[in-house]
Amino acid sequence: MSDICKNWSTWLKKTRFSYMNDVQIQQTLNWLMNIRNIVLDMADLNENQKIADFGCGSGLLGFGVLERFEDKVELIFSDKFQDCLDECQNILKKSEIRSNVKFLKSDVCDIKLENDYLDRALTRSVLVHVLDKQQAFNELYRILKPQGMYCAFEPIISQNTKYYQLLIPDEVSDYFDFKKAEMEFMSNPNDPLVNFSAESLDFNMQQAGFSNVEVNVQKVVSKYSPTIETIENWFITPPAPDQKTMKERFMEYFEEKKVNNYIEEIKLTLSKREIRVSSDTALIKAIK
Ligand SMILES: C[S@@+](CC[C@H](N)C(=O)[O-])C[C@H]1O[C@@H](n2cnc3c(N)ncnc32)[C@H](O)[C@@H]1O
């Protein structure tokens, strides 16, 4: 496992930006603020509600709620990991925001809240890290009040452009071996990052008891010319603190030398042209 990423708060502050230049970092931050506003607008928030940001990380959604309502709502920052709650607590201390806030260390699959407690449950890029999505939805349903709403933004990583799709067979050695491996690990049912689709999320929510389930998928296509350094970082940046890098994933199939060779060939090939990559994201809304 890579040593550049010790925990979630480090990943959120540093690792996720490690392959980006200043312009790309700013674009990503702007994009995150936009996502935050879309999720909060969708959630139809109001004063006096009890609202939780589950898998809050450094509080993207939770601080957005506080900026809008300050102490006029009860807000819970909740995460499975203490370092994230500490991070939110530090940010809050340094801010001038008046708040009525609780910190809850809890797995979204086993939420330490009583039944029918919340008006709104929010997540952003959290279920993508949870292996048993059905259990998470069962819990989110349980802790919401009747008519309470769950709103989320989640990436559907299994639909992202794969490396082999950026290449043609003659450009790299062992193209078909690497294609087979990538197809396999990008649809692994035991990998939380890729074990779901928009349809399975919809199904899981209906099974949990939610009604008015909406899973709206947006395909984002970007075209750019990656540098050699960017391509290197694609392979060595973990997608989460507890997850293997792409290089490590390929090394479960091939010797390191062969994987290094593949990465070098990709660097040489793709750094010479513009690439087109697409990724799917889902905006999710459901009522108890
Ligand atoms: C990609 S970060 C997103 C953080 C934040 N929601 C945001 O939008 O910036 C994923 C977050 O989910 C949390 N997380 C991962 N698995 C979890 C689980 N089973 N229960 C609760 N939180 C979890 C991590 O600690 C991390 O804070």
Per-residue model confidence as pLDDT tens digits over 5-51: 457 677 567 766 677 777 777 888 888 899 999 999 999 999 999 99
Residue type, 94: K
Q: What is the SS3 assignment for 179-230?
A: HHHHHHHCCCCCCCCCCCCHHHHHHHHHHHCCEEEEEEEEEEEEEECCCHHH
pLDDT at 118: 98
Ligand 1 atom 1: residue of nearest CA: 125
Contact present, 215 and 198 (Cβ < 8 Å): yes
Greater confidence (18 vs 180) lies with: 180
pLDDT band at 2 (very low <50, low <70, confident <90, very high): very low
Alpha carbons 59 and 85: distance in angstroms, whole number: 9
Query: Probe ligand 1: pick from 29, 91, 126, 151, max atoms within 8 Å of CB?
Result: 126
CA dist 40 → 49, 77, 116, 195 (Å): 13, 15, 21, 27
Alpha carbons 198 and 201: distance in angstroms, whole number: 5
Report residues whose beta carbon is within 6 angstroms of any ligand 1 atom: 8, 12, 54-57, 60, 79-81, 84, 107-109, 124-126, 129-130
Break the chain into its structural domains and give their ranges: 8-158+192-223+276-287
* Å from CA of 79 to ligand 1 middle: 6
Inter-residue long-range contacts of 185-193, CB under 8 Å, 24+ positions, other chains counted:
185/249, 185/252, 185/253, 186/157, 186/158, 186/162, 187/158, 190/131, 192/128, 192/129, 192/130, 192/131, 192/133, 193/128, 193/129, 193/157, 193/239, 193/240, 193/243
Looking at CATH, the fold of the domain delimited by 8-158+192-223+276-287 is given as Rossmann fold (3.40.50)
Mean of pLDDT values over 146-153: 98
pTM for the predicted model, two decimal places: 0.92
